[in-house]
Structure 1
Amino acid sequence: MRLFPSPRPSLAPRHQRDHRSPLSQRSSPSRSPRRRRRLLAAASAAAVLGALLVGGTSARAAGPSPSPAAAGAADVDVTVNANEGLGTIPGTAYGLNSAVWDAQMNVPQVQDLLKAADIGMLRYPGGSYGDIYHWQTNSAPGGYVAPGTDFDAFMGTVRTIGAQPILIANYGSGTPQEAADWVRYANITKGYGAKYWEVGNELYGNGHYGSGWEHDDHPDTSPAAYAASVLQYVSAMKAVDPSVKVGAVLTMPGNWPDGVMAGAETADWNHTVIPLIAGRADFVIVHWYPTSQDTAHMLATPNQLSGELAQLHDELAAAGAGDTPVALTEVNGGTGVDTQPNALFGADAYLTALQNGVFTVDWWDTHNGAQQISTSPDGATDYGDWGILSSAGCVGSVCEPPLNTPFPAYHAIRMLSQLGRPGDVLAGSGSSSATVAVHAVHRANGDLSVLLINKDPAAARTVTLHYAGFTPDTSAPMTVATYRDQADAITTATPAYSADQTLPPYSLTTLTLHPKAATGSALSAPGAPKVTAAGDTTATVSWTPSTGGPATRYEVYRQAGTTSELLTDTTGTSATVHNLTPGSTSTWNVLARDANGRLSAPSDPVTVRTGTPGNSTCQVAYRTTAGWGNGFNASVTVTNTGPNPITGWTLAFTFPSAGETVSGFWNSTIVQHDQQVVATPVDWNTTLAAGGGNSASIGFTGANDGAAPPPTAFTLNGTVCTTT
């Protein structure tokens, strides 16, 4: 049994999952699985989305969008903004884990199932086994390796299904030379062209923070030692094949051990590793297993991902590595794993991660084996099997379905390609209901696909759809794909167009609509914009021009929910935007307008960050001093750098995440309303001398559900301060 430590055990429930054990399957019946638990932040409730779009049209007809009352029986409004681009789906997007203890991983039946699900990336040799597995001998001392699971057999499956591999180079018991030899064999000797390589698995679980499920033979298990070794792996592997991409392991913000420090360390794992590998590692790796109190709680957790990934990108940007790609190489909901709720979670999590810049999402995993029997709220049997395909194992007298029978999570992954394929563009979308999630894709052929997820286990929901940047052909039939609760297959139909759709309970429904003729532009999307300058209130972005015809102008939009806010326009290929909020982060798109007044598809998104004034009359230093995954301590030092003393002061700031709250404070009085926080002095620090003659040092204890990014802007008596 492997346990995560909890500095404050009462703060969050613990969760259990099989991770690196051989399957409880017929090939190894005597092997009992080893388990491990995770302490992660609790989920926050989903926020209600769905403001109608600027310049939008109703799905019913041109003109104002109908209100929910005008929609008849519809009780949910869904909005899709095709002018809001969230990035292009990469070929590696829909991924899956494979493991050397899985005797079924390379059989033809499994290959056929993975190919049918359009799996684009396969991870090998399997979670924590990556740190005990030796590829030359196909062995994992202390673990089990099934016959027919060696590297060449695995690559046979990769090639058969048309995927790419992502390989875990052994850090725990391996060497940079062993990894370099693997690169040589894979890409020079065999010509496999294996591009993506991870250095180890979850090395933050090597015992350095008190919990040691991950094998690590290094005498120094600190994050600094890991980062230094990553650079050795990068050098050795690229010396063999400079084209390989080598990734480093990070922790997911807001999840254990984010914020945790060991011994005399002054920075946690991410804040130690990132500066050392910035510009040297080609990508970074995170895993995500949200702890859930119940099924409904789990279904809300994908809403955490946007904030957590945004915080990760901010941490990378602070080290000058903001463009570093991110891979989410393990994810699973962990509650009702063989039932419909985990399928709904999976589809939602895949797409939320991709919309927030992740280039691959790899589900855990292909086969895992029955662990314990329970009953889902919808009455379905859960075998505790974290795989997407049955291992035909039994727990007592209760047995799984026949070998390789797909579980609901498999069908959820297969539904993803009903929504979008590599090269299609993820579009902005929102729902007015917390129990109906929506994701949208503008396809390369001009069609628009919308995935609707009904998280209600008992009630059907009726939605009305509205669009901006897309006009549907109401005379053409739609394609509707549906995966219902406890179904064994996805059904498809081609009904007549309708703006109103009824979603069965606990279901995934994808609508694909054709565009009305002559409503699109022949212009291509502008090239991906780059931030070329940014201050505290201004930012400049530039891009490469559209092709396909002359563009009369380019328009720069800021994403605001599902509304696109026009910031500026220009006839050139760069623009400066003024009057921005200091210390803010926002996402922009650039679109080209043609001579007919039609907009092109949106560019890839660009994240724009503003700083704080460098010459303010006040200065604030903010620092996280301790963390335990779902809580933290922070210190704030306030200095008056102006020419006049201040007696009586008010310090105000905004938490970037809705899941952050102040639970205790010292050296000040702190009041919080929503995300706004105000601190006022106590008797002994009410006066701040002029010119930095003294400072007020205050602090607080915070709790966090999900992301816990630091505040980026502070005001002292209304003046925006310089933040350090």
Structure 2
Amino acid sequence: MSPTPAGAPASAGPPDPLRSRRPATRRAALALSALLAASGLAAASPAAAEDAPVRVTVNVRGGWETVSDTAVGVNHAIWDTELGSNQTADLLKDAGARLMRYPGGSYSDIYHWRDHTAPGGYVAPNTDFATFMAGVRRAGAQAIVTANYGTGTAQEAADWVRHANVEQDYAVKLWEIGNENYGNGHYGSPWEADDHADKSPAEYARHVVEYSRAMKAVDPSIKIGAVLTTPGEWPDGITAAGDAGPWNQVVLDIAGDDIDFVILHFYAGGGSAAEALARVDRMPVAIDLLHRQVREQVGRDLGVAVTEINMTQGMNTQPGALFAADVYAALIARGVFTVDWWNVRNGIGTIGEYAGQTDYGDWGLLSSGNCTADGATCQPALNTPFAPYYALGMVSRFARPGDQFVRAGASDPAVKAHAARRADGGLAVMLLNEDPAAAKQVSLSYAGYTPAASAQVLRYGNGDTAISTGTGTASSVTLPPYSITTLVLRPSAALSGPAAPGRPAASAITDRSATLTWPAAAGSGLKYEIHRQHGTVTEQWGETTGTTFTVGNLTPGTTYTANVIARDGSGRVSWASPPVLFSTVTPTTSTCAVAYNDDNDWGNGFVAGVDVVNTGTAPMDGWTLTFDWPTTWQQFGSGWNANWSQTGGTVKVTNVDWNRLIAPGASVNVGFVGNYQGPNPEPPRFTVNGMLCTTR
């Protein structure tokens, strides 16, 4: 997206793609089952009565990922004169920003570092690379640099690495190849500069390989990232004429062996602040889908960086703060190693009002101090923090590098809950009240952790100009309307225990069983508990003194999340291991088989064909096919060759007269138009006449 500054000259760069993009998603390459439940994202039921407390449950046995030292990041842009000022660096340090991106979104594909020019764009004074790095160092942060793919060369990028890391000793480890290069017109919307005659994903991927090898020849320690489309966001899933598949598939197939991480961007749209806030729930599903695709196509894990993120409603006011707190936590919990807010400063835009606060339509964290063209409205003084700035401060105080996210959930969908366990035995719980009008009384319970009665309370509320600190209790708290509240807890007694085991791996996966294996924890005489996560609940599958365990009685076509916990002879337990996600398959033998194919995808809808095969020995005289959508945002639109209907999330398909009979070994083809507004995973299970089928 990389919106250009509202106050910049007309030649300041590509058009704001918000005006040229349509919301869209793509078909997932892998069939996933119960993905929302496995990720803890299923919608919670509202409280039974308006005055009943919201129930928040924190379960430390359900471990997620550990916070990286670059988790909270921001974007800088070379049109911002204050980019490298001491005040900017100090403000970002106070907010906990640990990573800074340069030279600024779509400008990256027109920027030439050696002479500090961006032909066709505006370059402000005091924004050169040395000035940027001085600000990074003053803030105690790290840098991520975007090499020019659109109008640059691999040699230019390699020379930049040499200048940065050999000549200047800046130790810049993270390098992106281009910015939103799928926006070069290949799919119809051109906002990203691209001088290559061939604008296909294959051409981009071939150059990524060239860039990576040239840059790593200078400094083998650097990490190279390639641009992918975000699952569920246009143009993800679209196959353009002449391509072997969608952007992600082609780029991973060609460049997967030469990259270290992949790059996503996410701008939450919607017609209201509430709609935009609700779209955060799509991102953990998108990350899980992406990890599965990477493992399938590349054969190993790659890091994930979300290097631009923002929303389109109330971005300077409390909706923007709530969005920032929720999406940073949701993504970091899934192992995203950096989430970078767009932008530090961007300039005044369309004026609005949210919950009584003036919104300046500014994508920035800090005020640019400028005015609308007619001078009728001006921003606060330069460097005045906007609400999302304080949200980043809340996130960085809540989940610090080395902390581990654990399961948390609330009974009211207006309350979002996140929790992180600390190395010193502490536990932090961040609660968001997304109701703009009503306060929420919250009652908290804890599984696998006993907190002391008192708690430190951090809060940022609607219209506040600072994060407040106070005291409260671990068992209850009142959340003001449109607020972010963090409880920092201590254990009721000193905690000590064995180290956590390493991440489990799943193998020998069938429709009913899987074998989990994990690196041993340090120590002797340990037993290992194997826990399945399900929402905020964990169930113990079993325990063993070894480092492998086979779990049975699983449900076919279902995604599971599991952790391992070590327990010593005194009964003391470790932190939960990082999680493993795996999906059982469908039965290899059945009386029916189903082949599901997404034949044509246009970004927020698709045409799918479904083959129903009789693999039994007797004819099927009349048949009913059923399947469930994995998410709440997928739906059936219209179909053919059968009678189609949808109730809730279940699709039912029955024969018509002419295809009523399916002989043994024969099949019937039916099809439908589907719609979606988020990641689009395939249905994981199909039944015919109540029998679970083999999915082909």
Q: TM-score, normalised by structure 2?
A: 0.93
Aligned to 1:420: 399
Aligned to 2:30: none
In structure 2, what is the Cα distance between the partners aligned to 1:511 and 1:454? 14
1:393 aligns with 2:370: yes
Q: Deviations over 1:202-258 (max 9, x none)?
A: 111110111000111111111222222222222222222222211111111122112
In structure 2, what is the Cα distance between the partners aligned to 1:551 and 1:164? 41
- Closer, same or farther in 2 for the Cα pair 1:674/1:551, shift >3 Å? farther
In structure 1, what is the Cα distance between the partners aligned to 2:43 and 2:241? 42
Q: Report the 3-state secondary structure (helix = DSSP H, G, I; strand = E; otherwise coil) of the residue aligned with 1:289.
A: strand
Aligned to 1:637: 611
In structure 2, what is the Cα distance between the partners aligned to 1:594 and 1:716? 49
Letter in 2 for 1:454: N
Post-superposition offset of 1:30 = 9.8
- Indicate conservation of the 8 Å contact 1:24/1:31, yes or no: no
Q: Deviations over 1:543-592 (max 9, x none)?
A: 12222x43541011111000012122111011111222222222111101
- Indicate conservation of the 8 Å contact 2:13/2:106, yes or no: no
Q: TM-score, normalised by structure 1?
A: 0.89
Letter in 1 for 2:44: L
Aligned to 2:188: 210
1:469 aligns with 2:448: yes
Aligned to 2:44: 49
In structure 1, what is the Cα distance between the partners aligned to 2:376 and 2:230? 39
Q: Pick from 486, 492, 495: which aligns with 1:516? A: 492
In structure 2, what is the Cα distance between the partners aligned to 1:515 and 1:579? 36
- Indicate conservation of the 8 Å contact 2:474/2:487, yes or no: no
Letter in 2 for 1:381: T
Q: Deviations over 1:110-149 (max 9, x none)?
A: 0000111111111111111111111111111111111221
In structure 1, what is the Cα distance between the partners aligned to 2:650 and 2:255? 35
Segment drifting more, 699-708 vs 94-103: 699-708
- Indicate conservation of the 8 Å contact 1:311/1:708, yes or no: no
Aligned to 1:435: 414
- Indicate conservation of the 8 Å contact 1:256/1:629, yes or no: yes
Letter in 1 for 2:685: A
1:502 aligns with 2:478: yes
Aligned to 1:480: 457
In structure 2, what is the Cα distance between the partners aligned to 1:304 and 1:484? 25
- Closer, same or farther in 2 for the Cα pair 1:190/1:532, shift >3 Å? farther
Q: Pick from 547, 556, 581: which aligns with 1:573? A: 547
Q: Pick from 272, 290, 310: which aligns with 1:312? A: 290
Letter in 2 for 1:36: P
Aligned to 1:539: 514
- Closer, same or farther in 2 for the Cα pair 1:73/1:712, shift >3 Å? closer
In structure 2, what is the Cα distance between the partners aligned to 1:434 and 1:322? 36
Q: Report the 3-state secondary structure (helix = DSSP H, G, I; strand = E; otherwise coil) of the residue aligned with 2:229.
A: coil
Q: Report the 3-state secondary structure (helix = DSSP H, G, I; strand = E; otherwise coil) of the residue aligned with 2:451.
A: coil
Q: Pick from 116, 120, 126: which aligns with 1:148? A: 126
1:382 aligns with 2:382: no
- Indicate conservation of the 8 Å contact 1:526/1:546, yes or no: yes
Q: Pick from 346, 365, 388: which aligns with 1:368? A: 346
Q: Report the 3-state secondary structure (helix = DSSP H, G, I; strand = E; otherwise coil) of the residue aligned with 1:465.
A: strand
1:280 aligns with 2:261: no
Post-superposition offset of 1:100 = 1.1
Which runs of structure 2 are paired with 1:18-417 in the superposition (5 Å)? 19-22=2-5, 24=7, 34-37=15-18, 38-40=21-23, 47-49=42-44, 75-265=53-243, 267-321=245-299, 323-376=301-354, 378-395=355-372, 396-417=375-396
Q: Report the 3-state secondary structure (helix = DSSP H, G, I; strand = E; otherwise coil) of the residue aligned with 2:610.
A: strand
In structure 1, what is the Cα distance between the partners aligned to 2:631 and 2:475? 34
Aligned to 1:620: 594
Post-superposition offset of 1:461 = 1.0
Post-superposition offset of 1:293 = 1.1
Q: Pick from 684, 689, 695: which aligns with 1:717? A: 689
Q: Report the 3-state secondary structure (helix = DSSP H, G, I; strand = E; otherwise coil) of the residue aligned with 2:682.
A: coil
Post-superposition offset of 1:507 = 0.8
Post-superposition offset of 1:279 = 3.4
Letter in 1 for 2:528: Y
Post-superposition offset of 1:31 = 6.5
- Indicate conservation of the 8 Å contact 1:525/1:602, yes or no: yes
Aligned to 1:589: 563
In structure 2, what is the Cα distance between the partners aligned to 1:655 and 1:29? 46
- Indicate conservation of the 8 Å contact 2:14/2:106, yes or no: no
Q: Deviations over 1:670-722 (max 9, x none)?
A: 2323332232222333333323xx43221111111322111223233344433
Post-superposition offset of 1:23 = 5.8
Aligned to 1:61: none
- Closer, same or farther in 2 for the Cα pair 1:625/1:193, shift >3 Å? same
Post-superposition offset of 1:658 = 1.8
In structure 1, what is the Cα distance between the partners aligned to 2:244 and 2:327? 33
Unpaired runs of 5+ residues, structure 1, are 1-16, 52-66
- Closer, same or farther in 2 for the Cα pair 1:444/1:99, shift >3 Å? same
Q: Report the 3-state secondary structure (helix = DSSP H, G, I; strand = E; otherwise coil) of the residue aligned with 1:158.
A: helix
Post-superposition offset of 1:439 = 0.7
Q: Pick from 682, 685, 703: which aligns with 2:656? A: 682
1:556 aligns with 2:556: no
Q: Pick from 407, 432, 435: which aligns with 1:453? A: 432
In structure 1, what is the Cα distance between the partners aligned to 2:301 and 2:414? 33
In structure 2, what is the Cα distance between the partners aligned to 1:584 and 1:73? 37
Q: Deviations over 1:399-451 (max 9, x none)?
A: 00000110001000011122120000101000011111111111111111111
1:529 aligns with 2:504: yes
In structure 1, what is the Cα distance between the partners aligned to 2:558 and 2:618? 29
Segment drifting more, 413-422 vs 528-537: 528-537
Letter in 1 for 2:17: R
Post-superposition offset of 1:311 = 2.2
- Indicate conservation of the 8 Å contact 2:451/2:474, yes or no: no
Letter in 2 for 1:603: S
Q: Report the 3-state secondary structure (helix = DSSP H, G, I; strand = E; otherwise coil) of the residue aligned with 1:147.
A: coil
Q: Report the 3-state secondary structure (helix = DSSP H, G, I; strand = E; otherwise coil) of the residue aligned with 1:451.
A: strand
Q: Report the 3-state secondary structure (helix = DSSP H, G, I; strand = E; otherwise coil) of the residue aligned with 2:82.
A: coil
Unpaired runs of 5+ residues, structure 2, are 26-35
Q: Report the 3-state secondary structure (helix = DSSP H, G, I; strand = E; otherwise coil) of the residue aligned with 1:564.
A: strand
Q: Deviations over 1:146-179 (max 9, x none)?
A: 1221112211122221212111111111112222
Segment drifting more, 612-621 vs 82-91: 612-621
In structure 2, what is the Cα distance between the partners aligned to 1:328 and 1:192? 23
Q: Report the 3-state secondary structure (helix = DSSP H, G, I; strand = E; otherwise coil) of the residue aligned with 1:100.
A: coil
Q: Report the 3-state secondary structure (helix = DSSP H, G, I; strand = E; otherwise coil) of the residue aligned with 2:311.
A: coil
Q: Deviations over 1:595-624 (max 9, x none)?
A: 232321100111112223445454322221
- Indicate conservation of the 8 Å contact 1:50/1:430, yes or no: no
Aligned to 2:672: 700
Segment drifting more, 618-627 vs 221-230: 618-627
In structure 2, what is the Cα distance between the partners aligned to 1:582 and 1:277? 34
Letter in 2 for 1:686: R
Segment drifting more, 605-614 vs 395-404: 605-614
